[in-house]
Structure 1
Amino acid sequence: MADLDLLLHPVRLRIVQALLDGHPSTTTQLRERLPEIAPATMYRHVAVLADAGVLEVLQEKRVRGIMERTYRLRWDRAQLDESGRAAMTPDDHRRAFTAFTGSLLAEFGQYLARDPADPVADGVTYQQAALWLTDEEHAELLAELRAAVTARTGRSPGEGRTRRMVSLVAMPVEE
């Protein structure tokens, strides 16, 4: 199980998010996905995540005299469990949400910087809905959403497939 401070670092959070699709990557491939991160910074934070067990080494091979490692995200180590979340203070939650929204903004900025970025054609959506739900109905909704997303994870890149990031925030709002 990951430590909150380990995951909330902005660079480490971006690395974890880059591996959310379940496809193993080398550090070179991660650098291609995250070109704004300096090489030395990337290597340092990948090593921190690997040492913490958040990333596991699937393969090692020599490439031009340097050991190249292929990493995979360990889901069981890349998130806080229920007791870890319960132990978070309001300030911890504020930091976590700030990191989450900051990384979301960075991903969206990268998308908009592509040429051409066409949000309508690409099916980009951001919206909110206010729902009146009991605790049980809310738990049911979250379970349905998790099941819908989980059923689609692990698909391989292919003809007509675009890697899409899906994010969810649910919170009670006082009237």
Structure 2
Amino acid sequence: MEIAEIVMNPVRQRIIQYFLIHETGTVKEVRKALPDIPSASLYRHMKILTDNSMITVVGENRIRGTVESIYQLNKSFMEMDDAEGATVQMALLNICASFAKYFSGEHVDPRKDMLMMSTCTLTLTDEKFMDFLTEINQIAMKYMNTEVCEGSKTRQITVISAPIDGKVM
């Protein structure tokens, strides 16, 4: 399985997101944070992430004769060199597929579902752009850490940055 294929799965993205927020966790803790994912599915996705070294076992809890693994995100996998942009292209295709799946459904209501797309152009120095990204990350982290409750809906937010023409002002 290609790395892009592994990380583009929505369930695995949510598991990775859990570890970005919590640093470490057990399957039980991940299941509590992601209650809408069936246990068998969660275990299968955790195994895929572990087998591909995206998460690693960093400790164990001994509970009444059984061993519970403590996992942590392997941050080095996120630093992969992808000069051809295959991972980004796979991510973009995944976004397109998500929208196609949504619009092929029976009861499509973009207004009710708060479907949105927003684009803006920024002209900033690299330093100011990093400040902008840091602020977006802080806001996202605040809401990613919100507990799932009655009425919660899973929504995916994607921020994409690309140079327009390479000109420096």
In structure 2, the partner of 1:63 is: none
Q: Deviations over 1:112-160 (max 9, x none)?
A: 3443221112111112111111111101110000000001113222123
Q: Post-superposition shift, 1:26?
A: 5.2
Q: Which amino acid aligns with 1:17?
A: Q
Partner of 1:157: 148
Match of 2:163 in 1: 172
Q: How many residues align?
A: 141
The CA distance in 2 between the partners of 1:74 and 1:141, in whole Å, is: 28
Unaligned runs of 5+ in 2: 19-29, 32-36, 62-67
> CA separation of 1:150/1:78 partners in 2, compared to 1, >3 Å: closer, same or farther?
farther
Distance 2:102 2:72 in 1: 26
Normalising by the residue count of structure 1, what TM-score does the alignment of the two structures yield?
0.62
In percent, how many aligned pairs have the same letter? 16
- RMSD between superposed Cα atoms in Å: 3.5
Q: In the alignment, does 2:19 pair up with 1:7?
A: no
Greater shift, 150-159 or 134-143, is seen at: 150-159
Select the residue among 122, 142, 145 that pairs with 2:136. 145
Alignment partner of 2:117 out of 109, 113, 126: 126
Unaligned runs of 5+ in 1: 31-41, 60-69
Matching residue of 1:80: 78
How high is the TM-score relative to the length of structure 2?
A: 0.64
Rounded to whole Å, the distance in 2 between the matches of 1:90 and 1:72 is 33
